[in-house]
Amino acid sequence: MQVIENLKVKEKVYKEKLDNGLTVMIIPKPGMNKKYMIWGTHYGSLENEFIAPGEEEKTVVPNGVAHFLEHKMFEQENGTNSLDVLTALGVEANAYTTNDHTAYLFECTDNFYEAMDELMDYVQHPYFTDENVEKEKGIIGQEIKMYDDYPEWKVYLNAINAMYHECPIKIDIVGTIETISKIDKDILYKCYNTFYNPSNMVMVICGDFNPDDMIEEVKKRLIDKKANGEIKRIYPKEPETIVKEKVEQKLEVSTPLYTIGIKDLVSENCNLNKSETVKKHIAIEILLNLIIGRSSRLFKDLYKDGIIFAQPGLSYEFANIYAHILIDGQSSDPEKVYAEFKNEVNNFKENGLNQKDFERIRKMIYGSYVKEYNDVTDISRMFLADYFKGINSFDYLDEIESVTKEYAEQILRQVFKEDKMVLSIVKNS
């Protein structure tokens, strides 16, 4: 078993790759009552074209299959629903689908092993029939209609569509009424058997556990399933240009919503090793906080003038086929926010960063990283999501000191380009 230790936060991760290809990470938290388990597969809404291991023909599936599959996994052949079983045990259970992974999880203080029995049972035993698939289409159809009227989701998705021409990140994770109508049990089983192989999955368990004992508990509950070969994931080629700079939609909102997007060049990211990817991510976080974070001049001016009412959401999302910055919030004048943001980016490019401000923000971000290690949920989700990106989460703590003001200025020039910026607005009809 590999032991990865970080002395800065005094944490250890015990990592083992089992014979069937499953990677298990145990993060001991001695003395902590709360326990968390998450089991994820490297399969999300991006994977709609692939060649399964041992096959030569390409498989193409409708949009929304990964999310549909996540919904169906809870239903068991004996008529029970595993989510109900877990809830009855007094644990908080859930599942979610993202662009690049799907995960099943629970947290608890008691009944951990009973909950582990249930989770590992239902994830390994899919049960799809013509009838239960048809029934699910109605349930997910209602979810799709709800999202169509959800302003926060639309302003995000419109920004993504303004940035990307072909990349499947454009696809709504839940699909559409039309695409899910084409899903049947054979498609679900094909995707399950391709992507829910242990060699494509990772499990993270965090709590007051002995790592060796926990690995044995995991092994006891695994069915006999061999690792499969490589899944060939097929993605369309994405141009480096944006689609259009501005998109506006009218929905029922009390205050206009906005999302500013900046498309990054994935071709450049592909040439980075993982520590460089982490460094770049940290630099972008620092830059966003310097430009429009709570302590920035721009935020204070916009807040004082009543143009924005709270610090915007600031994030950098990336995977192997996309990368972009998102800045989102509410504003009485989104176009003013966008114009002032662009001006401030140019000011920083012309005048450089203030060393004292840079150091202060870097320390603040380091503190936010450290804080994540206090919560079993944050730690577990972080290690799972980073694993699918090929990153060890400890790298953020180790690399932050190597992010200098000069390096951040270089990233500012490389990434924060006006011809890669978009503005999405949702305002009252």
324 membership: H or E segment, kind and range: strand 323-330
pLDDT digits (tens, 9 = 90+) for 131-147: 889 988 988 888 888 77
Residues 174-206, buried b or exposed e (16+ Cβ, 10 A)? Answer: bbeeebbeebebebbebbbebbbbbbbbbbbbb
In this prediction the pTM is: 0.92
DSSP-derived 3-state class of residue 190: helix
The Cα 249–Cα 162 span in angstroms is: 13
Give the pLDDT mean for 42-58: 95
Give the pLDDT mean for 63-81: 92
Q: What pLDDT score was predicted for residue 268?
A: 60
Is residue 270's pLDDT more than 70?
no
Q: What pLDDT score was predicted for residue 146?
A: 79
Whole-number Cα distances in Å, 8 to 13, 64, 375, 394, 399? 14, 41, 16, 9, 12
Residues 374-404, buried b or exposed e (16+ Cβ, 10 A)? Answer: ebbeebbbbbbbbbbbebbbbbbbebbeebe
Rg, the chain, Cα only = 23
Top pLDDT among 11 and 266 is at 11
Give the pLDDT mean for 136-161: 89
Mean per-residue pLDDT of the chain:
94
Is residue 364's pLDDT more than 90?
yes
Q: What pLDDT score was predicted for residue 272?
A: 66
pLDDT digits (tens, 9 = 90+) for 75-86: 888 888 999 999
Residue 71 contacts residue 124 (beta carbons within 8 Å): no
Residues 4-26, buried b or exposed e (16+ Cβ, 10 A)? Answer: eebeebebbbbbbebebebbbbb
pLDDT digits (tens, 9 = 90+) for 213-265: 999 999 999 999 998 889 999 999 999 999 999 999 999 899 999 999 999 98
DSSP-derived 3-state class of residue 50: strand
Nearest to 72 by CA among 116, 135, 114, 22: 135
Q: What pLDDT score was predicted for residue 14?
A: 97
Share of the chain above pLDDT 70, in %: 99
Q: What pLDDT score was predicted for residue 264?
A: 95
Q: What pLDDT score was predicted for residue 106?
A: 97
The Cα 81–Cα 66 span in angstroms is: 19
Domains recognised in the chain with CATH numbers: 2-233 (3.30.830.10), 246-427 (3.30.830.10)
Q: What pLDDT score was predicted for residue 266?
A: 75
Is residue 98's pLDDT more than 70?
yes
For the annotated catalytic residues, the residue numbers are 70
